[in-house]
Structure 1
């Protein structure tokens, strides 16, 4: 048989499958987790990759400029090149030197010019003697600086290292410009940063894969439910826990309270849940045995205990996960409710037995009368009818005259019939009287007390066989109600006198015994009275019950019948 929890989960899953496809993106927890984690990781990796690659590009560009400047400084310090400035045709000497260095260093060009920026060397010989292009020579020619610049020359946009050429006296006699084209620099940057972008892309793919696995794991952990379904289950669980009649108290492995419902707080007299949750169980409920369950992992079922003057039945079980004790749960319910229910069922059973016995008795008498009439013994049949009528009338007259409460009268009349069925002589003392009607509580108490005592007495007297005898006396004269039931049965053994009123104890064989006298004893205590046991004049047991007179409504004596 499936549990309510599994039925609730199955219902939620059916609801989820039956929803329309519109809006699935906003409801799928697994997809949300995967996209959130994946996009967050991708954004972080892309931002970091962009920053690192940008810095790497800057470093490469700077290194290319420094390389161009270093080549320019080397060229400007060549003695042959410096001496060639005094030749009639400087290009004849400078051009071969510049081209050789250009090829060796991989530069796009190595241009040497005079103070008027006229070229003495150039990769394209036809441009020799023409002015240098770019307009960025002043810092070298006028101020003698060595620097790196980006400008567009005759061959295109380039990163250029520029430095002046000094003669032996330190005068500026020319300029050296070494350039690397920017498109080549960009290719170098791309070549050196492409690996980084591939690594970023790989990490993004791995991140989405990890996010997918994480979302699957989380979905499995939460039993495949969506967040709104978990919220609904949590609200349903809270409503169920707070509405059931059993008290529930749960603790974690450290013995701290994690759950307590309203019924548990009512039973234990605890403050609101906010003040209890998180506190040690021994501090809140000093006599709790949940610590034993946490230590030993043993289950305890149907343990009886008292909370004040309230009997309860307790179950304690550990919370296990992967073989480890993660906490413990205690559930308890009122045993008084169970006892009251048992008594109600017993009373209904007694009423059924009484009606069955009464029907059986009158059926026999009707058959007897029918037989006499068939035998034409009319006088004998009339005599039997008159005899039975007089006996019933005498009982009814006695009860109407001496008992003011109709509920008690009906109970006694039923017990008289039941006693005859059991072949036990039940005698109500002529001095018995109940002059005042009872309250509703008084009727319940009197029915329970008289019914249980008479049932036990009849059962004991029945063991005598044909001579079974039970005597009942009751009165409300004075300050208290007095009830006395005695029988000629075997009595109560001396060793059982102290235990006869304990719940669960019985001298009768069989299960579900030991409730009647315990219930009578409790009712007596609750209504300002007591019950005692002594030896009967008839030879058996005599039970005397004293109850408070507050169970009577008013003291109105029963008027005698005319």
Structure 2
């Protein structure tokens, strides 16, 4: 099988041929122009010489004498030939007989060529090309008039074509050298250009590049994560099949290429990534009822940021399964905590009965039943979302297990959210706030944690306070930074998660803290309730 030429060889040959063709055309045009110019110059020289000789008095006198050979005229015309670098100067009488010639033997003989007749007959100047005794030459004719204005003869001045060709060759010689040099330089440049192009293409042949492109495209389209890439202007430049499918589910069916990325992905931070040149990883966003786990990273080529790319995965199905599992887990935790608390109560009752303190046992049992029943009834009656209710019941029992007093204040009814994913963010927010509060009061004599929930005018207010150590100003400025904690290593993620969840819900967070007094977190969240909550 015949081996194909490499891209480098093809490119070098192609560029060299282009250079050769360009130089050939240029040389041809310059040669024509140079030949025409030299031709005109020589014609002008010959015609001016003929005019000069025709106006000489000595020539007039010789023509009016009936002398075939005049040495003075021969010497004069020879001088003119040498001075003007022409090949011949011939003086003719009105009958076309030579009265001078470079070859004295031809003096007195008729002029050869036949082109002299026009001047002899019409007494006009003109230039022609004809063959004479000295070969083919360019000839200029000028009529001669005596002092009375009578036509008495003509002057023929000639330059052989061989001499004109020599002049043209001399003029074009630098052009030949320049052309050869240009071919050499062009060939070297073509080779260097071919090598440079080959290097820029990572030493791959076009067929190899096409194969790599097809492979990359196939991998891009087959991946199960959506991919969206943007340029430096924030315009979408690439989307894969999975991304298009996710957008289609969201009701976006139009071509996304060239659109502003914030119109395609309203929750994206790709433009922020472009400015900071830092990736943002494992972030959750919600769009049109879909939950996406998104990673956004800059695209850098040769130490320059040329764009950014987002990879995301639809977590909606996983979230639905998590909703079911989370509900079961929360109820299980609540039952576990209540079981522990109930067993403690049984142990107390067992002790009192063993001591035959029946009245105290009855009072204790009545008080326990009243407190736990009232708290559970309050939660189940006022918190309409069963996941959140189960979580609060379990968290309440857990906090009491830790030996911490817990006050729960639910002002009015807390409806179920129109967005089913909101409850998971609420669990993250309330859970982390309560956990931090419990930990902060462990070293205090007064161990009190309070949680207040209030829903009013489509806004949910969450307030968690504790009687812990509190924080100074420097600690308050750093407390939401991921990984920062005053409690040791591998901590400092709870408040960062809280801030992210509040941001996801488009809410805002306030914090007040005093050393030795405690800390209060207040969070306001836009909260659209379900339309049928009034009937529930």
TM-score (norm 2): 0.61
User: What is the aligned partner in structure 1 of residue 67 from structure 2?
Assistant: 89
Q: Give how far 1:192 is off.
A: 0.4
| Residues 157-168 of structure 1 mapped to structure 2, 5 A cutoff | 157-168=136-147
Question: CA deviation digits over 1:275-324, x for unaligned, max 9?
Answer: 21011112333332111111222211111222343332211111123433
Q: Give how far 1:485 is off.
A: 10
Query: Please, which of 293, 305, 319 is the counterpart of residue 325 of structure 1?
Result: 305
RMSD: 3.8
Question: CA deviation digits over 1:210-268, x for unaligned, max 9?
Answer: 33222222222222222222222222222222221111111100111101122223334
Query: Please, which of 266, 283, 301 is the counterpart of residue 303 of structure 1?
Result: 283
Q: Tell me if the contact between 2:334 and 2:390 (Cα under 8 Å) persists in the aligned partners.
A: no
Query: Please, which of 51, 55, 59 is the counterpart of residue 29 of structure 2?
Result: 51
Q: Give how far 1:149 is off.
A: 1.0
User: What is the aligned partner in structure 1 of residue 271 from structure 2?
Assistant: 291
- Tell me the secondary structure at the aligned position of residue 427 of structure 2: coil
| Residues 432-471 of structure 1 mapped to structure 2, 5 A cutoff | 453-454=331-332, 457=335
Distance 1:319 1:117 in 2: 92
TM-score (norm 1): 0.59
- Tell me the secondary structure at the aligned position of residue 14 of structure 2: helix
- The change in CA–CA distance for 1:310 and 1:195 in structure 2 (over 3 A counts) is same
User: What is the aligned partner in structure 2 of residue 73 from structure 1?
Assistant: 51
- The change in CA–CA distance for 1:124 and 1:338 in structure 2 (over 3 A counts) is same
Q: Tell me if the contact between 1:319 and 1:328 (Cα under 8 Å) persists in the aligned partners.
A: yes
Find out whether 1:136 has 2:115 as its counterpart.
yes
Distance 1:227 1:323 in 2: 26
User: What is the aligned partner in structure 2 of residue 502 from structure 1?
Assistant: 427
User: What is the aligned partner in structure 2 of residue 415 from structure 1?
Assistant: none
Distance 1:114 1:224 in 2: 81
Q: Tell me if the contact between 2:327 and 2:390 (Cα under 8 Å) persists in the aligned partners.
A: no
Q: Give how far 1:24 is off.
A: 2.0
- The change in CA–CA distance for 1:489 and 1:85 in structure 2 (over 3 A counts) is closer
Q: Give how far 1:338 is off.
A: 6.2
Q: Tell me if the contact between 2:334 and 2:394 (Cα under 8 Å) persists in the aligned partners.
A: no
Question: CA deviation digits over 1:491-513, x for unaligned, max 9?
Answer: 233579999983695879999x9
Question: CA deviation digits over 1:187-219, x for unaligned, max 9?
Answer: 100100121232233223323333322222222
- The change in CA–CA distance for 1:81 and 1:449 in structure 2 (over 3 A counts) is closer
- The change in CA–CA distance for 1:54 and 1:468 in structure 2 (over 3 A counts) is farther
Q: Tell me if the contact between 1:305 and 1:312 (Cα under 8 Å) persists in the aligned partners.
A: yes
Distance 2:28 2:230 in 1: 52
- The change in CA–CA distance for 1:90 and 1:247 in structure 2 (over 3 A counts) is same
User: What is the aligned partner in structure 2 of residue 24 from structure 1?
Assistant: 4
User: What is the aligned partner in structure 2 of residue 177 from structure 1?
Assistant: 156
User: What is the aligned partner in structure 1 of residue 98 from structure 2?
Assistant: 119
Q: Give how far 1:489 is off.
A: 12
Q: Tell me if the contact between 1:160 and 1:179 (Cα under 8 Å) persists in the aligned partners.
A: yes
Distance 2:34 2:165 in 1: 12
- The change in CA–CA distance for 1:451 and 1:289 in structure 2 (over 3 A counts) is closer
Question: CA deviation digits over 1:474-502, x for unaligned, max 9?
Answer: xxxxxxxx999999999233579999983
Q: Give how far 1:131 is off.
A: 1.5
Query: Please, which of 101, 110, 119 is the counterpart of residue 80 of structure 2?
Result: 101
Question: CA deviation digits over 1:7-33, x for unaligned, max 9?
Answer: xxxxxxxxxxxxx6x2423xx222333
Structure 2 runs not aligned, ≥5 long: 348-385, 400-405, 411-422, 440-489, 495-536
Q: Tell me if the contact between 2:54 and 2:144 (Cα under 8 Å) persists in the aligned partners.
A: yes
Q: Give how far 1:36 is off.
A: 2.7
Distance 1:59 1:488 in 2: 107
Q: Tell me if the contact between 2:86 and 2:157 (Cα under 8 Å) persists in the aligned partners.
A: yes
Find out whether 1:266 has 2:234 as its counterpart.
no
- Tell me the secondary structure at the aligned position of residue 134 of structure 1: coil
Structure 1 runs not aligned, ≥5 long: 1-19, 344-443, 470-481, 515-562
Q: Tell me if the contact between 2:334 and 2:395 (Cα under 8 Å) persists in the aligned partners.
A: no
- Tell me the secondary structure at the aligned position of residue 207 of structure 2: helix
Q: Give how far 1:272 is off.
A: 4.6
